[in-house]
Structure 1
Amino acid sequence: MTGVQQAPTDRVIQHWYRDHVSCLQSTLASLLIREGEDPLGALGLSWEFRHLPGDVRPEEFYWPCARDGDLVGSLLPYHRAGSVWRTAPDTDPLVALETALAGNRLPIVAVDNYHLPFRPAYQDVHSAHLIIVYGIDRVAGEVLVSDAMPPAYHGPLAIADLLRSWTSVNPREQEAFFSGVHIDGRWLDVTLGTPFPPLTPARLGEAMAANLARFDSDGPDRAGLRGLAEFGTELVAAARNGDRATVEEAYPFGWGMQAQAALHGELLRDRGVQWRNPVLAEAGRRVEQVAHAWTPVRVCAAYGRADPRAWAGDLAHRTARLRRAHEEALAAIEQAMATLNDGSGEIG
């Protein structure tokens, strides 16, 4: 293909961001908005704990997939949504993106921030990141990209810069948490299956019940409250044994868990206010406390990688607090579910 290829402009690409989210949630949110969906209502519906030992990768967009290879389907398990990781051909990588755009699909492209002039890490730090490509102009030598992560950018990028970033080996140098894995021309081909069903109290209650069931699950994955306890025990043991690699992994892994808890909590709190249900709003606040409890765990892991044994006590304290925050939030959700079923939480 030659010339200009751009997604139809009748649907605007908007930025959406929250303090706890990564590029995974922010890029997907832009796709949801473009389809007329509420990103909070979609991204905040599911809440779980899932840790897959040996699977954690140093990428900002890492997520422990319940559906093998389907990142978006794992992130939105209650929606008709899915995704496939694809690799662009070496001969002409842009063809894959042009084909997606011609089919009215916005590709989410993996990149190395080191090669992107609009990122603060430009020519300084290598790190794996995601952006949306929504237009390609071979004549001008530019692509149009969207990145909601601060400082946020929406506009042209030289094709040469995209290709450098998109095919980077992403070497591990100064940055320990999101570098060391090749980018290799990867891009995420997303199918949203919209429109989504309305988020009624009944539908939210069904999702909350399914979330609770997953936390009670005793399946093969390291998941639910049992998996959370195992994760904490392993992390503290690794610190006491001086295992830097395992301690270090808690930082990128914890970001996804933290982001999901923050969005689920915000959704419950928002709907609690909208539906005049203070019990639901309180449950949301409790889930948001889980997100905040992830912060010291991740920070201790980040600092602790240099001298894990010195941080073992802090990690033991913080992971125990994280488990308590989960237990308190789940108890609050059980109470809130009863109000959704019988309407007792509504005022007036």
Structure 2
Amino acid sequence: MPLLEVEELVKYFPIRYGLFGKTIGYVRAVDGVSFSIKEDSVFSLVGESGSGKSTIAKCVLKLLEPTSGRIVFEGKDITSLRGKSLKWYRRSVQAVFQNPFLSLNPRMKVESIVAEPLKIHLGMKSDEAREEVYKLLELVGLSREIGSKYPHELSGGQAQRVAIARAIASKPRLLVLDEPTSALDASVQAQILNLLMDLKKELRLSYLLISHDLSVVRYISDYVAVIYLGKIIEYGSVEELFNDPAHPYTKALLSSVPEPDPATRKLKNRIVLPGEPPSPVDPPKGCRLSPRCPYVQEKCKSSEPELISIGKDHLVRCWLFQ
């Protein structure tokens, strides 16, 4: 049984107008997304800004209520959980956000920040929590002295390590990583990624990674789903998807990855899709990539293709494969 299952997740945001807030339309941020995350694995959602990645993450974290669909964790449907019954889920699923300085309370010292989930979720007393905080700081590569500092006194890498320490304090099973390295320097990014991989192995964690950095995705992931305008258009193992991409949008995404070797760079065919992504308020009737796709056919404009299997653990939503 998968650790987490997302079934036909839909999230629409109403567009209101006028004095009385009449609803005149909807922003279709997420429109029927399904996936599952296995235990001890890393599942990544990739796509350009505005594709719906972070909205999916917020629905999984119960920061947003989905319009429809189900989210099942450890066999329990959590979409209807409220109040005290939700505390178990809050403890089991934690998050690490893009900017640690915005997710850490600037008025609290590091020791208090990391101790908070220990007291709330594990019921520890102050002395017991303090000793556990020091263990957690050591686990993420920080010294005890960091505990007496405020977030503004830390470097970006140190602050993100504190955020990770807080996230693992409640002994979760799933971490939602929303662009966890994009605000950091390149050298620090590598350190944080290695730390996350070490913690995954040591604590038997699973990750839901939200990222637009395909280099990070390839390094850390087991499975990848490419999302465009609120829908998954390709899914597969990281090897399958990076070595043999099928969807035109996936090919364009992968061609945009910077190539450090000048010799290889000259051989690389850069695919540039024309135009801008359509508005999620009024998406195309057929395939959502049809206004920009170089292989567009008439049926692409009128009817939407299904997500079908084209290989082991490899799915694609494109009329070229139907």
TM-score, normalised relative to structure 1: 0.26
Structure with higher helix content:
1
Structure with higher strand content:
2
TM-score, normalised relative to structure 2: 0.28
